[in-house]
Structure 1
Amino acid sequence: MRAYTVEQGIVAPLDRANVDTDLIIPKQFLKSIKRTGFGDNLFDELRYLDEGYLGLDNSKRPKNKDFVLNQPRYQAASVLITRQNFGCGSSREHAPWALNEYGFHTVIAPSFADIFFNNCFKNGMLPVILAEEIVEQLFKECAASEGYQLTIDLNAQEVRTPNGKAFKFEVDPFRKHCLLNGLDDIGLTLQAADDIHAYEEKTKQSRPWVFQEIRG
Protein backbone atom coordinates (compact mmCIF):
# COMPACT_ATOMS: atom_id res chain seq x y z
CA MET A 1 0.00 0.00 0.00
CA ARG A 2 1.19 3.52 -0.81
CA ALA A 3 2.57 5.32 2.24
CA TYR A 4 0.90 8.62 3.10
CA THR A 5 3.13 11.32 4.55
CA VAL A 6 2.52 14.77 3.03
CA GLU A 7 -0.02 15.40 0.27
CA GLN A 8 0.06 18.66 -1.65
CA GLY A 9 -2.46 18.79 -4.43
CA ILE A 10 -5.17 20.55 -6.35
CA VAL A 11 -8.52 20.62 -4.58
CA ALA A 12 -11.81 19.58 -6.17
CA PRO A 13 -15.00 20.78 -4.41
CA LEU A 14 -17.99 18.43 -4.30
CA ASP A 15 -20.70 20.63 -2.81
CA ARG A 16 -23.07 17.85 -1.71
CA ALA A 17 -24.07 16.44 1.64
CA ASN A 18 -24.95 12.79 2.31
CA VAL A 19 -23.08 11.45 -0.73
CA ASP A 20 -23.63 7.71 -0.56
CA THR A 21 -21.42 4.90 -1.82
CA ASP A 22 -23.80 4.10 -4.68
CA LEU A 23 -23.23 7.59 -6.03
CA ILE A 24 -19.46 7.24 -5.52
CA ILE A 25 -19.38 3.95 -7.47
CA PRO A 26 -22.74 2.64 -8.78
CA LYS A 27 -23.74 -0.95 -8.15
CA GLN A 28 -23.40 -2.14 -11.77
CA PHE A 29 -19.63 -1.77 -11.53
CA LEU A 30 -19.14 -3.98 -8.48
CA LYS A 31 -18.63 -7.31 -10.23
CA SER A 32 -14.90 -7.34 -9.50
CA ILE A 33 -13.20 -7.81 -6.13
CA LYS A 34 -9.90 -6.41 -7.42
CA ARG A 35 -8.88 -2.97 -6.18
CA THR A 36 -8.39 -1.63 -9.69
CA GLY A 37 -10.66 -0.75 -12.61
CA PHE A 38 -13.08 1.55 -10.76
CA GLY A 39 -11.57 5.01 -11.21
CA ASP A 40 -13.09 5.59 -14.64
CA ASN A 41 -16.56 5.13 -13.17
CA LEU A 42 -16.15 7.24 -10.06
CA PHE A 43 -19.31 9.37 -9.68
CA ASP A 44 -20.50 7.81 -12.94
CA GLU A 45 -24.07 9.15 -12.71
CA LEU A 46 -22.76 12.67 -12.18
CA ARG A 47 -19.90 12.62 -14.69
CA TYR A 48 -21.81 11.26 -17.68
CA LEU A 49 -25.14 12.08 -19.31
CA ASP A 50 -25.97 8.52 -20.31
CA GLU A 51 -26.34 5.35 -18.25
CA GLY A 52 -23.09 3.55 -17.68
CA TYR A 53 -22.45 -0.16 -17.51
CA LEU A 54 -19.46 -2.47 -17.14
CA GLY A 55 -17.28 -2.66 -20.24
CA LEU A 56 -18.57 0.55 -21.83
CA ASP A 57 -15.96 2.76 -23.53
CA ASN A 58 -16.10 5.87 -21.35
CA SER A 59 -14.10 7.95 -23.84
CA LYS A 60 -17.10 7.92 -26.19
CA ARG A 61 -19.73 8.81 -23.60
CA PRO A 62 -21.28 12.29 -23.34
CA LYS A 63 -19.99 14.13 -20.27
CA ASN A 64 -21.82 16.45 -17.94
CA LYS A 65 -19.82 19.65 -18.40
CA ASP A 66 -21.29 21.12 -15.22
CA PHE A 67 -19.91 18.40 -12.97
CA VAL A 68 -16.84 19.47 -11.05
CA LEU A 69 -14.53 16.63 -12.14
CA ASN A 70 -15.20 17.41 -15.80
CA GLN A 71 -14.09 21.02 -15.47
CA PRO A 72 -10.53 21.75 -16.68
CA ARG A 73 -9.51 23.66 -13.54
CA TYR A 74 -10.01 20.58 -11.38
CA GLN A 75 -8.14 18.08 -13.52
CA ALA A 76 -5.41 16.16 -11.67
CA ALA A 77 -7.02 16.97 -8.30
CA SER A 78 -5.86 14.76 -5.45
CA VAL A 79 -7.79 16.40 -2.59
CA LEU A 80 -11.59 16.28 -2.42
CA ILE A 81 -13.55 18.61 -0.16
CA THR A 82 -17.19 17.83 0.45
CA ARG A 83 -20.03 18.14 2.94
CA GLN A 84 -21.27 16.16 5.93
CA ASN A 85 -21.92 12.42 6.09
CA PHE A 86 -19.78 11.56 3.08
CA GLY A 87 -19.69 7.85 2.19
CA CYS A 88 -23.03 6.88 3.74
CA GLY A 89 -25.14 4.01 2.44
CA SER A 90 -23.78 0.53 1.81
CA SER A 91 -20.46 -0.67 3.18
CA ARG A 92 -18.84 -1.35 -0.20
CA GLU A 93 -15.06 -1.05 -0.11
CA HIS A 94 -15.18 -0.27 -3.82
CA ALA A 95 -15.94 3.38 -2.92
CA PRO A 96 -12.45 4.19 -1.58
CA TRP A 97 -10.97 2.00 -4.33
CA ALA A 98 -12.64 4.18 -6.97
CA LEU A 99 -11.63 7.44 -5.30
CA ASN A 100 -8.06 6.28 -4.83
CA GLU A 101 -7.65 5.01 -8.37
CA TYR A 102 -9.07 8.23 -9.78
CA GLY A 103 -6.33 10.08 -7.92
CA PHE A 104 -7.85 11.27 -4.64
CA HIS A 105 -5.63 10.56 -1.66
CA THR A 106 -7.38 12.88 0.79
CA VAL A 107 -11.06 13.60 1.44
CA ILE A 108 -11.95 16.50 3.73
CA ALA A 109 -15.45 16.80 5.21
CA PRO A 110 -17.23 17.79 8.43
CA SER A 111 -18.23 14.15 8.96
CA PHE A 112 -18.06 10.70 7.36
CA ALA A 113 -20.08 7.51 7.51
CA ASP A 114 -18.27 5.16 9.90
CA ILE A 115 -17.66 2.19 7.58
CA PHE A 116 -16.45 4.36 4.72
CA PHE A 117 -14.19 6.23 7.15
CA ASN A 118 -12.61 2.96 8.29
CA ASN A 119 -12.25 1.65 4.73
CA CYS A 120 -10.30 4.73 3.69
CA PHE A 121 -7.49 3.99 6.14
CA LYS A 122 -7.33 0.38 4.98
CA ASN A 123 -6.75 1.54 1.41
CA GLY A 124 -4.13 4.25 1.87
CA MET A 125 -6.50 7.23 1.89
CA LEU A 126 -6.78 9.87 4.57
CA PRO A 127 -10.26 11.08 5.57
CA VAL A 128 -9.89 14.40 7.39
CA ILE A 129 -12.63 15.77 9.63
CA LEU A 130 -12.68 19.55 9.98
CA ALA A 131 -15.32 21.80 11.49
CA GLU A 132 -18.13 22.80 9.16
CA GLU A 133 -17.13 26.48 9.19
CA ILE A 134 -13.57 25.59 8.18
CA VAL A 135 -14.80 23.40 5.31
CA GLU A 136 -17.03 26.27 4.20
CA GLN A 137 -13.99 28.55 4.19
CA LEU A 138 -12.07 26.04 2.05
CA PHE A 139 -14.96 25.91 -0.43
CA LYS A 140 -14.90 29.70 -0.77
CA GLU A 141 -11.13 29.87 -1.20
CA CYS A 142 -11.22 27.05 -3.77
CA ALA A 143 -13.93 28.81 -5.80
CA ALA A 144 -12.00 32.09 -5.76
CA SER A 145 -8.64 30.70 -6.90
CA GLU A 146 -8.05 28.45 -9.90
CA GLY A 147 -5.46 25.80 -9.18
CA TYR A 148 -6.16 26.09 -5.45
CA GLN A 149 -4.03 23.63 -3.50
CA LEU A 150 -3.91 22.33 0.03
CA THR A 151 -1.07 20.65 1.88
CA ILE A 152 -2.03 17.83 4.21
CA ASP A 153 0.73 16.84 6.63
CA LEU A 154 -0.20 13.59 8.34
CA ASN A 155 2.72 13.57 10.75
CA ALA A 156 1.90 17.09 11.97
CA GLN A 157 -1.85 16.42 11.60
CA GLU A 158 -2.36 19.71 9.77
CA VAL A 159 -4.17 20.98 6.70
CA ARG A 160 -2.32 24.03 5.39
CA THR A 161 -3.73 26.59 2.96
CA PRO A 162 -1.76 28.65 0.40
CA ASN A 163 -2.04 31.75 2.62
CA GLY A 164 -0.31 29.99 5.50
CA LYS A 165 -3.25 29.04 7.70
CA ALA A 166 -3.04 25.65 9.37
CA PHE A 167 -5.95 23.58 10.66
CA LYS A 168 -5.32 20.72 13.06
CA PHE A 169 -7.16 17.42 12.69
CA GLU A 170 -7.40 14.29 14.82
CA VAL A 171 -6.36 10.82 13.74
CA ASP A 172 -6.11 7.55 15.64
CA PRO A 173 -2.42 6.83 16.44
CA PHE A 174 -2.54 3.26 15.12
CA ARG A 175 -4.19 4.33 11.85
CA LYS A 176 -1.67 7.14 11.53
CA HIS A 177 1.18 4.65 11.97
CA CYS A 178 -0.27 2.38 9.29
CA LEU A 179 -0.70 5.19 6.76
CA LEU A 180 2.75 6.65 7.38
CA ASN A 181 4.30 3.23 6.82
CA GLY A 182 2.04 2.05 3.98
CA LEU A 183 0.61 -0.85 5.98
CA ASP A 184 -2.74 -2.38 5.08
CA ASP A 185 -4.12 -5.51 6.79
CA ILE A 186 -1.88 -7.75 4.67
CA GLY A 187 1.16 -5.62 5.38
CA LEU A 188 0.48 -5.76 9.10
CA THR A 189 0.22 -9.56 8.94
CA LEU A 190 3.47 -9.86 6.98
CA GLN A 191 5.28 -8.01 9.76
CA ALA A 192 4.78 -11.17 11.80
CA ALA A 193 5.85 -13.50 8.95
CA ASP A 194 8.79 -14.97 10.90
CA ASP A 195 6.60 -15.76 13.91
CA ILE A 196 3.94 -17.30 11.68
CA HIS A 197 6.53 -19.46 9.94
CA ALA A 198 8.00 -20.57 13.28
CA TYR A 199 4.53 -21.50 14.54
CA GLU A 200 3.85 -23.53 11.41
CA GLU A 201 7.13 -25.43 11.76
CA LYS A 202 6.38 -26.16 15.41
CA THR A 203 2.89 -27.34 14.54
CA LYS A 204 4.26 -29.66 11.86
CA GLN A 205 6.20 -31.43 14.59
CA SER A 206 3.43 -31.61 17.18
CA ARG A 207 0.45 -32.18 14.85
CA PRO A 208 1.80 -33.46 11.53
CA TRP A 209 -1.61 -34.75 10.43
CA VAL A 210 -2.81 -31.15 10.03
CA PHE A 211 -0.46 -30.75 7.07
CA GLN A 212 -1.18 -34.08 5.39
CA GLU A 213 -2.69 -33.90 1.92
CA ILE A 214 -6.31 -34.94 1.75
CA ARG A 215 -6.91 -37.43 -1.05
CA GLY A 216 -10.33 -38.02 -2.58
Structure 2
Amino acid sequence: MFPEFVTFLDLIGVAVFAATGSLVASRKQMDLIGFGIIATLTGIGGGTARDLILDRSVFWIADQRYLLVCLGIAAALFFFAHRVHKRYILLLWCDAIGLCAFAVLGAEIARSAGAAPLPAIVMGVITATFGGLARDLVANEIPLLLKQEIYATAALTSAGLYIGLVEVVTSPAIAAGIGISAGFALRAGAILFGWSLPRYSRAGKTYK
Protein backbone atom coordinates (compact mmCIF):
# COMPACT_ATOMS: atom_id res chain seq x y z
CA MET A 1 0.00 0.00 0.00
CA PHE A 2 1.32 3.46 -0.84
CA PRO A 3 2.82 5.21 2.24
CA GLU A 4 0.80 8.39 1.67
CA PHE A 5 -2.43 6.37 1.57
CA VAL A 6 -1.48 4.59 4.81
CA THR A 7 -0.80 7.93 6.49
CA PHE A 8 -4.08 9.37 5.22
CA LEU A 9 -6.04 6.34 6.45
CA ASP A 10 -4.22 6.49 9.76
CA LEU A 11 -5.02 10.16 10.34
CA ILE A 12 -8.67 9.63 9.41
CA GLY A 13 -8.93 6.70 11.82
CA VAL A 14 -7.26 8.67 14.62
CA ALA A 15 -9.58 11.64 14.04
CA VAL A 16 -12.71 9.49 14.07
CA PHE A 17 -11.69 7.59 17.19
CA ALA A 18 -10.67 10.83 18.90
CA ALA A 19 -14.17 12.09 18.15
CA THR A 20 -15.71 9.04 19.83
CA GLY A 21 -13.54 9.67 22.89
CA SER A 22 -14.66 13.29 22.97
CA LEU A 23 -18.31 12.26 22.70
CA VAL A 24 -17.90 9.93 25.66
CA ALA A 25 -16.20 12.76 27.59
CA SER A 26 -19.16 15.03 26.79
CA ARG A 27 -21.62 12.45 28.10
CA LYS A 28 -19.56 12.25 31.31
CA GLN A 29 -19.42 16.08 31.50
CA MET A 30 -15.61 16.18 31.73
CA ASP A 31 -13.52 19.35 31.58
CA LEU A 32 -11.31 20.30 28.63
CA ILE A 33 -8.34 18.33 29.99
CA GLY A 34 -10.55 15.26 30.36
CA PHE A 35 -11.67 15.68 26.76
CA GLY A 36 -8.06 15.80 25.61
CA ILE A 37 -7.02 12.74 27.60
CA ILE A 38 -9.94 10.56 26.51
CA ALA A 39 -9.70 11.69 22.88
CA THR A 40 -5.96 11.02 22.74
CA LEU A 41 -6.21 7.67 24.52
CA THR A 42 -8.90 6.54 22.09
CA GLY A 43 -7.23 7.92 18.99
CA ILE A 44 -3.75 6.49 19.49
CA GLY A 45 -4.30 3.63 21.96
CA GLY A 46 -4.74 0.83 19.44
CA GLY A 47 -1.85 1.91 17.26
CA THR A 48 0.40 2.26 20.29
CA ALA A 49 -0.37 -1.31 21.41
CA ARG A 50 0.28 -2.55 17.86
CA ASP A 51 3.64 -0.79 17.57
CA LEU A 52 4.82 -2.02 20.97
CA ILE A 53 3.91 -5.62 20.11
CA LEU A 54 5.63 -5.36 16.72
CA ASP A 55 8.67 -3.68 18.34
CA ARG A 56 8.30 -0.66 16.03
CA SER A 57 8.86 2.99 16.78
CA VAL A 58 5.60 4.28 18.26
CA PHE A 59 3.98 6.23 15.43
CA TRP A 60 2.84 9.34 17.30
CA ILE A 61 6.23 9.99 18.87
CA ALA A 62 7.80 10.43 15.44
CA ASP A 63 4.90 12.39 13.97
CA GLN A 64 3.19 14.94 16.21
CA ARG A 65 0.29 15.39 13.76
CA TYR A 66 -1.51 12.53 15.46
CA LEU A 67 -1.48 14.29 18.82
CA LEU A 68 -2.50 17.56 17.19
CA VAL A 69 -5.46 15.84 15.51
CA CYS A 70 -6.59 14.28 18.80
CA LEU A 71 -6.31 17.51 20.74
CA GLY A 72 -7.92 19.55 17.97
CA ILE A 73 -10.91 17.21 17.80
CA ALA A 74 -11.20 17.27 21.60
CA ALA A 75 -11.18 21.08 21.72
CA ALA A 76 -13.74 21.39 18.93
CA LEU A 77 -16.16 18.93 20.50
CA PHE A 78 -15.72 20.45 23.95
CA PHE A 79 -17.46 23.54 22.56
CA PHE A 80 -19.84 21.93 20.08
CA ALA A 81 -20.73 18.40 21.30
CA HIS A 82 -23.74 19.76 23.21
CA ARG A 83 -25.30 20.68 19.86
CA VAL A 84 -25.51 16.99 18.95
CA HIS A 85 -28.77 15.74 20.46
CA LYS A 86 -28.16 12.03 19.87
CA ARG A 87 -24.53 11.79 20.87
CA TYR A 88 -24.59 8.06 21.63
CA ILE A 89 -25.89 7.23 18.16
CA LEU A 90 -23.21 9.44 16.60
CA LEU A 91 -20.65 7.73 18.83
CA LEU A 92 -21.69 4.31 17.53
CA TRP A 93 -21.44 5.32 13.88
CA CYS A 94 -18.14 7.15 14.25
CA ASP A 95 -16.76 4.20 16.18
CA ALA A 96 -17.88 1.83 13.39
CA ILE A 97 -15.99 3.86 10.78
CA GLY A 98 -12.84 4.07 12.91
CA LEU A 99 -13.08 0.39 13.81
CA CYS A 100 -12.99 -0.82 10.21
CA ALA A 101 -10.44 1.72 8.99
CA PHE A 102 -8.06 0.89 11.84
CA ALA A 103 -8.49 -2.86 11.28
CA VAL A 104 -7.27 -2.53 7.70
CA LEU A 105 -4.55 -0.07 8.65
CA GLY A 106 -3.21 -2.23 11.48
CA ALA A 107 -3.17 -5.30 9.28
CA GLU A 108 -1.27 -3.45 6.55
CA ILE A 109 1.31 -2.04 8.97
CA ALA A 110 1.89 -5.49 10.46
CA ARG A 111 2.16 -7.03 6.98
CA SER A 112 4.65 -4.36 5.91
CA ALA A 113 6.66 -5.09 9.07
CA GLY A 114 7.04 -8.70 7.95
CA ALA A 115 4.22 -10.37 9.90
CA ALA A 116 2.63 -13.50 8.41
CA PRO A 117 -1.03 -13.20 7.29
CA LEU A 118 -2.65 -14.52 10.49
CA PRO A 119 -0.61 -12.36 12.91
CA ALA A 120 -1.21 -9.39 10.61
CA ILE A 121 -4.96 -9.92 10.91
CA VAL A 122 -4.66 -10.15 14.71
CA MET A 123 -2.70 -6.90 14.75
CA GLY A 124 -5.48 -5.32 12.71
CA VAL A 125 -8.06 -6.35 15.29
CA ILE A 126 -5.90 -5.09 18.16
CA THR A 127 -5.36 -1.76 16.42
CA ALA A 128 -9.10 -1.43 15.85
CA THR A 129 -10.37 -2.40 19.28
CA PHE A 130 -7.81 -1.44 21.94
CA GLY A 131 -8.36 2.31 21.85
CA GLY A 132 -12.13 1.97 22.18
CA LEU A 133 -11.73 -0.56 24.97
CA ALA A 134 -9.42 1.80 26.89
CA ARG A 135 -11.84 4.70 26.29
CA ASP A 136 -14.79 2.83 27.74
CA LEU A 137 -12.89 1.44 30.72
CA VAL A 138 -11.45 4.83 31.70
CA ALA A 139 -14.89 6.46 31.31
CA ASN A 140 -16.47 3.68 33.42
CA GLU A 141 -18.74 2.54 30.58
CA ILE A 142 -19.52 -1.00 29.45
CA PRO A 143 -17.01 -1.56 26.60
CA LEU A 144 -18.59 -1.92 23.17
CA LEU A 145 -16.24 -4.87 22.74
CA LEU A 146 -18.06 -6.76 25.52
CA LYS A 147 -21.61 -6.07 24.39
CA GLN A 148 -23.65 -8.79 22.73
CA GLU A 149 -23.91 -7.23 19.29
CA ILE A 150 -21.23 -7.81 16.67
CA TYR A 151 -18.17 -5.61 17.21
CA ALA A 152 -14.76 -7.31 17.09
CA THR A 153 -16.14 -9.58 14.36
CA ALA A 154 -16.52 -6.53 12.12
CA ALA A 155 -12.86 -5.62 12.70
CA LEU A 156 -11.85 -9.22 12.02
CA THR A 157 -13.84 -9.16 8.77
CA SER A 158 -12.15 -5.96 7.59
CA ALA A 159 -8.64 -7.10 8.46
CA GLY A 160 -9.18 -10.64 7.16
CA LEU A 161 -10.63 -9.53 3.85
CA TYR A 162 -7.87 -6.99 3.33
CA ILE A 163 -5.05 -9.46 3.98
CA GLY A 164 -6.78 -12.19 1.97
CA LEU A 165 -7.27 -9.95 -1.06
CA VAL A 166 -3.76 -8.51 -0.92
CA GLU A 167 -2.34 -12.04 -0.73
CA VAL A 168 -4.05 -12.89 -4.04
CA VAL A 169 -2.51 -9.80 -5.67
CA THR A 170 -5.49 -7.47 -5.46
CA SER A 171 -4.59 -3.76 -5.48
CA PRO A 172 -4.06 -2.64 -1.85
CA ALA A 173 -6.34 0.36 -2.34
CA ILE A 174 -9.14 -1.84 -3.72
CA ALA A 175 -8.57 -4.43 -1.00
CA ALA A 176 -8.76 -1.68 1.64
CA GLY A 177 -12.01 -0.35 0.18
CA ILE A 178 -13.59 -3.80 0.13
CA GLY A 179 -12.36 -4.68 3.62
CA ILE A 180 -13.55 -1.44 5.20
CA SER A 181 -16.92 -1.59 3.41
CA ALA A 182 -17.60 -5.20 4.39
CA GLY A 183 -16.68 -4.66 8.03
CA PHE A 184 -18.72 -1.47 8.22
CA ALA A 185 -21.75 -3.20 6.68
CA LEU A 186 -21.52 -5.91 9.34
CA ARG A 187 -21.20 -3.39 12.16
CA ALA A 188 -24.05 -1.31 10.69
CA GLY A 189 -26.28 -4.39 10.74
CA ALA A 190 -25.39 -4.89 14.40
CA ILE A 191 -26.26 -1.28 15.23
CA LEU A 192 -29.49 -1.19 13.23
CA PHE A 193 -30.79 -4.73 13.69
CA GLY A 194 -28.97 -6.06 16.75
CA TRP A 195 -27.02 -8.74 14.88
CA SER A 196 -24.95 -10.89 17.21
CA LEU A 197 -23.11 -14.20 17.31
CA PRO A 198 -24.52 -17.20 19.22
CA ARG A 199 -23.85 -16.96 22.96
CA TYR A 200 -22.73 -19.65 25.38
CA SER A 201 -25.37 -20.91 27.80
CA ARG A 202 -24.70 -23.01 30.90
CA ALA A 203 -28.26 -24.32 31.08
CA GLY A 204 -28.92 -27.26 28.78
CA LYS A 205 -28.04 -26.21 25.26
CA THR A 206 -24.57 -24.99 24.51
CA TYR A 207 -25.72 -22.05 22.40
CA LYS A 208 -28.76 -19.87 22.15
Q: TM-score range by the shorter chain?
A: under 0.3
TM-score (norm: length of structure 1): 0.25
TM-score (norm: length of structure 2): 0.26
Higher Rg: 1
